[in-house]
Structure 1
Amino acid sequence: MKEPMKGNGGFWDAFKGGGVSPRIASMLGAPSAQQIAFVRSLTKGQRRPETLHVPLSELKTAVFDLETTGFHYHYGDEILSFGAVKVEGERVSEEVYYSLAKPACQIPERIIELTGITPEMAQSAPTLLEALREFMAFVDDRVLVAHGSAHDKAFLDVALWKTTKAHLGHRVLDTMMIARKLEPERRISGGLDEWLAVYGIPVTQRHHALEDSKMTARLWIALIDRLREQNVLTLGDLYTFLSKT
């Protein structure tokens, strides 16, 4: 598996090249108290009303996926890896983020087989706070997109609370919910593989946070095109569309 990527271009290139403010640069390499403050600052003010008027074809999003040790955070399951890709309206950017995260719990054998993430890989990974800090800096103030977002959003919110006592303040869109709303006649479970097949999107590598993010990004763009046919043009239109019974 590849080494954790801190993104290509954008924030991380600026950081490495000295193009961010000394305050932010100091926080990224600072003791945990400042790291916590930095992450908390990135969770605030992400639901600006004006975003509702932005056309979906111009909306800046970050499509993300998490791999976890299981499905039950309230029983101690934790995040194993973060993946995200920036999308500029209807164009998938080359800016990506991927990192493992060191869990405090053991990785079940079925998860090792599913994800390819071994205990040895996890032990040498960044801490949850470090990976979370980098992920939040990468997604910045973008609208988040995930497939079956309830799982990912819940784990992300729990991780934020556990490490910084903050809650996720970003808007989160769910490609599974949108696809089901657009095509209610399709009797499918809603899994990513099935919807990728519906829209003719090739499957590259499943259960890898970054690869799943890239495929979900392509699905999101395909959905924007279908939404346009329904005269759903802005983020506000999309919320109204999803709320209809």
Structure 2
Amino acid sequence: MMQFCFIDTETTGLFTSYGDRICEIGLLAVDETLEIIESFESLVNPLREISAAAFEVNQIGDAELLSAPLFPQLADKVLELIDRRILVGHNVLFDNGFLKNEFRLAGIEYPDPRMLDTRDIARGLISSPSYGLSSLVGQFEIEVENRHRAMSDCLATYQLFKHLLALGLEKNYSSLEQMAGRYMIEPEKLFESLPDWLQEALEKGIEIEIEYMNRGNVTSRRKILPLSAFDSHGKLYIEAFCQSRKSKRTFLVERIKNVYPDRK
């Protein structure tokens, strides 16, 4: 039977490749009936300062983290909750990437769980101007306190998943297992269908320079750091941090005309 662990992390910044770390983690272990078995939340001392941009979002200050446990002190509990469970998050590859990095830094083997992304499920089931968590929480009228803190966003993702499941059972699927199977992210297959350049960028957390044609057929060169890739209506997209815009952007892969090698 399927069991799940919902996750949300708050981080010092967006990029493990730049040394960013987890500063707060929230986990919900859930059984096959979606009843919560156990919850866990903790601040984490990241051994570095929180970026101004991250603080603006999560309001976690450096002083709060000085007495927080280091991640290796929490690793056994995290392993207990995620072991043999499907990891569920909103943009779960982001949380999984940071979690995997923490285990790597701690010298502890990471189990590489199967995953489900509520953002991908929402894209498959509903039409929305935005698939961010805030937008979807509003669309489904989910009450959330203390947004952008790990446990609050973890609970919001859990509630969103239950709403999406109800919608999926009404529209397309006969069971939770069938819907989960449709959107399951298998770690060993995660990058196999991606172009080599994108696979390498995602696996290593490296920036790439692209020539991109927008909807108006205007071409520009941009330096981006890919964060995740997803399929929507048969087309491959990248969510990435765009250095020229200084924010996250979504790129349609078929509009990327050239990829330039790193000349560092």
**Structure 2 length-normalised TM:** 0.64
**Unaligned 5+ residue runs, structure 1?**
1-53
Higher strand share: 2
Deviation at 1:137, TM superposition (A): 1.8
Letter in 1 for 2:145: T
For residues 60 and 130 of structure 1, the distance between their equivalents in structure 2, rounded to whole angstroms, comes to 25
The one-letter amino acid of 2:114's match is: R
TM-score scaled by length of structure 1:
0.69
1:180 aligns with 2:123: yes
Alignment match, 1:233: 175
Asked whether the equivalents of residues 137 and 143 of structure 2 are also in contact (C-alpha less than 8 Å), the reply is yes
Does 1:171 pair with 2:122? no
Distance 1:205 1:88 in 2: 25
1:143 deviates by 1.2
Mapping of residues 134-173 of structure 1, within 5 Å: 134-173=77-116
Shift of residue 131 of structure 1? 2.0
- SS of the residue corresponding to residue 121 of structure 1 reads helix
What corresponds to 1:37 in structure 2? none
Deviation of 1:92 (Å): 4.1
Asked if the contact 1:87/1:217 (under 8 Å) is kept, the reply is: no
Decide which structure has greater helix share. Answer: 1
State which of 55, 69, 77 in structure 1 corresponds to 2:12. 69
Please list the CA deviations of residues 24-49 of structure 1 after superposition, one character each: whole Å capped at 9, or x if unmatched.
xxxxxxxxxxxxxxxxxxxxxxxxxx
Which digits, 9 at most, give the CA deviation of each residue in 1:91-137, with x for residues without a partner? 44262100111112211233334323221221101111112322222
Alignment gaps of 5+ in structure 2: 185-230, 235-264
- For the Cα contact (< 8 Å) 1:90–1:221, is it kept in 2? no
Aligned pairs, number: 186
Partners in 1 of 2:106 and 2:29 — Cα distance?
24
Per chain length, whose mean CA-contact separation is higher, i.e. which structure has more relative contact order (CA < 8 Å, sep 6+)?
1
CA distance in 2, matches of 1:241, 1:97: 26
Question: What CA RMSD, in Å, does the superposition of the two structures yield over aligned residues?
Answer: 2.2
2:41 counterpart SS class: strand
User: 2:17 & 2:149 partners in 1: Cα distance?
Assistant: 23
CA displacement at 1:169 relative to structure 2: 2.0
Percent of pairs identical after alignment?
Answer: 26
Alignment of 1:1-245 (within 5 A): 54=1, 59-93=2-36, 95-183=38-126, 185-188=127-130, 190-229=131-170, 230-235=172-177, 237-240=179-182, 245=234
Which segment drifts farther, 227-236 or 120-129? 227-236
User: How far 1:237 sits from its partner (Å)?
Assistant: 4.7
Which amino acid in 1 is paired with 2:49? Q
1:143–1:173 Cα contact (<8 Å) kept: yes
Distance 1:180 1:76, change over 3 A: same
**Distance change (3 Å), C-alpha of 1:232 and 1:205:** farther
